[in-house]
Chains A and B, each alone.
Chain A
Amino acid sequence: MFEVMFWPIAACVLLPWLLVYLGLHVVQRGIIFIDIAMAQMASLGICLAVLLHLDLQSWTTFAIALGFTLVGAAIFSITGKRASQIPQEAVIGISYVVAAAAAVLLLSRAAEGDEEIKNMLVGNILLVTPNEVWKCFALFLAVGAFHFVLRKNFLLVSFDRDGAYERGLKVRWWDFLFYAAFGLVVTSFVRIAGVLLVFSYLIVPAVCGIGLASRIGKRLLIGWVIAWIGGIGGLFFSFWWDLPSGAAIVCTFGALLIAVSAYVLIRSRLRTS
């Protein structure tokens, strides 16, 4: 088993920590679908590169994809006003569908079968290579360090927006930095693990952590444990019953969330009675 599953397991051990942390921010801000919107922005950039006949593995293509993610970050930070009638999730949803539709239009002109783009954007955790794991891990360390150094302001902007405004923080700029770093993390993880996995790693451990604890440190710890159990457990099921690995991990996360919710429910019943 380990011959085949070693690198997928390594990826599931080394990479999710940052996603879980960012997931706490995302859930707190109530912008659940931002990861999918960001990934779609990046893919729109890659479609443009296809239209321009650029080599998909080149740095130019990467720069275009990154540029589109930054445009997304700018849109989301500008529209995230302090008091707005339009919920942020609506803007995110609109960005997603427009980016997805624009990609369809571009591709119909580029006349490129979508298989290369699919390969580029939707990775398969089973087929991850050591090189990809280390590259992604290095990037995550850098973004993690960035977040750690500036954690006070990032946490304030996500968890206490009114407080952030009162202290005179330039919330919009902090939002932009948050989204830009987030976009970088999401698009690089999507390439090795696929959209479904990114979404689950961001949201499920964070939701479990919020259900079980109230302090951020404890939530993060619980989230990490859930992420490791879900990832390694899912890969185990995938191997045992020969299932597609990404989908097996996602369903394991679903089962974990149900178990945690049941536990929380029973605990609160016991407390009130």
Chain B
Amino acid sequence: MKRFLLTLLFSVAIAISANAKLNVVATLPDFGSLAREIGGDKADVTILAKPTEDPHFVDARPSFVVALRNADVLIDGGAELEIGWLPPLLQNARNPKIETGKPGRVIAAQNIRLMNVPGNVTRAAGDVHALGNPHFMTDPIIAKAVAQHIAQSFAAVDPPNAAFYQANYTKFESEINAKLQEWGAAMLPFKGQNVVAYHDSWPYFAHRFAINIDIFLEPKPGIPPSPSHLVEVIAQMKAQHIKAIIVEPFQNRKSAERVAEATGAKVVDFAQFPGGLPGADSYIKLMDAMISRLAAALK
């Protein structure tokens, strides 16, 4: 009993000390990385999905519900990216601070014009997102906008530190601006080149760096590669002399390797999420790694 009381006291103490910081939950590691940039040492950031996990399917654990229950701010992608797993978690957490429309809820897609919004959604088009492609964080300029959205939310929830969050945003913004020059220069020689990807996660990246990623190993989003489709992709790649195939950690690398073997192209490991590539644990480092890998493969 004594030990139980001590434990209780201890956990209350932890809870109080934790409350001094802003409790931030990010569904995915890219939002988490931005939240860390903005929140600095004034925010405790919990990231739910692992960087190597498919953001469409995430396995819920008890700590997720606890984290959401105690959250002051929740950052999610929206646009149906987490539709498979976030709604039931929120239902169980029942935290009014992070309901839609509250300052503590950052739905990243909200202020962003999404690409590839389908004219009319039919099941025949595959596992399409009715609201548009939700993989928008791969464009650094959009990432800046999301960072600003996060800074505004932090400032609204924690007004005493508003200036601190704003300063961190300004710093992040200028970092990205400087890096954009660098990345743009690295990709410039490959302007207009075609690249193949496993899943349609890169339209924003392609748009920003002026390459084309319009051929996919999946015949339709979410449908595993079929033999006849791969044959077609191989023919297209040979005809257009495509040199790179982009694969993410949770995708089937084997089918990409098969196609690479048949065409002489290189398989390039990409990741949407910081931590998904070795050594790339922040948003900027991840973009650095991807740009240099892709440039090396296209050379």
What residues of chain A have their CB less than 8 Å away from a CB belonging to chain B?
Answer: 3-5, 7, 50, 53, 107-108, 110-116, 118-119, 124, 126-127, 129, 238-239, 242-245
B69-A53 in contact (CB<8A): no
Asked if residues B127 and A112 are in contact (CB atoms below 8 Å), the reply is yes
CA distance A238 to B65 in the complex (A): 13
The chain A residue with its CB closest to the CB of B218 is A113
From A5, A110, A115, A243, name the one whose CB has the most chain B CB atoms within 10 angstroms.
Answer: A115
Q: Give the contact-size bracket for chain B.
A: 20 to 34
Chain B residues contacting A53 (CB-CB under 8 Å) are 122-123
Minimum Cβ distance to chain B for residue A236 (Å): 10
> Of B69, B89, B127, which contacts A127 at CB under 8 A?
B89
Contact check: which of B62, B91, B92 meets A239 at CB < 8 Å? B62
Of the candidates A50, A111, A242, the one whose C-beta lies within 8 Å of that of B62 is A242
Known: A124-B60, A126-B92, A127-B88. 11 other contacts (CB 8 A): A5-B62, A111-B124, A111-B126, A113-B56, A113-B221, A113-B222, A114-B222, A115-B57, A115-B84, A124-B59, A127-B92
B12: A residues at CB distance < 8 A: none
Q: A4-B66, A115-B56 are in contact. Are A129 and B223 (CB under 8 A)?
A: no
Closest 9 CB pairs of A and B: A113-B127, A113-B222, A127-B88, A242-B63, A4-B65, A239-B62, A111-B126, A115-B84, A111-B220
Flag whether B110 is at the interface (Cβ < 8 A).
Answer: no
Contact flag A238-B222 (CB < 8 Å), given A3-B69, A127-B89: no
Q: Is the CB of A238 within 8 A of B62?
A: yes
* Distance in angstroms between the alpha carbons of A126 and B223 in the assembled complex: 28
Contact B125 A111 (CB under 8 A): yes
Chain A residue at minimal CB-CB distance from B68: A4
Q: Which residue of B57, B69, B125 is within 8 Å of A118 (Cβ)?
A: B57
Q: Which residue of A lies closest to B222 (CB)?
A: A113
B100 within 8 A of A: no
Partner of A50, one of B69, B123, B125, B220: B123
Q: Does B226 contact A (CB under 8 A)?
A: yes
Instruction: Decide: A126 near B65, CB < 8 A? Known: A50-B123, A119-B84.
Output: yes
Given contacts A115-B222, A119-B84, contact A242 B127 (CB under 8 A): no
Does B61 interact with chain A (Cβ within 8 Å)?
yes
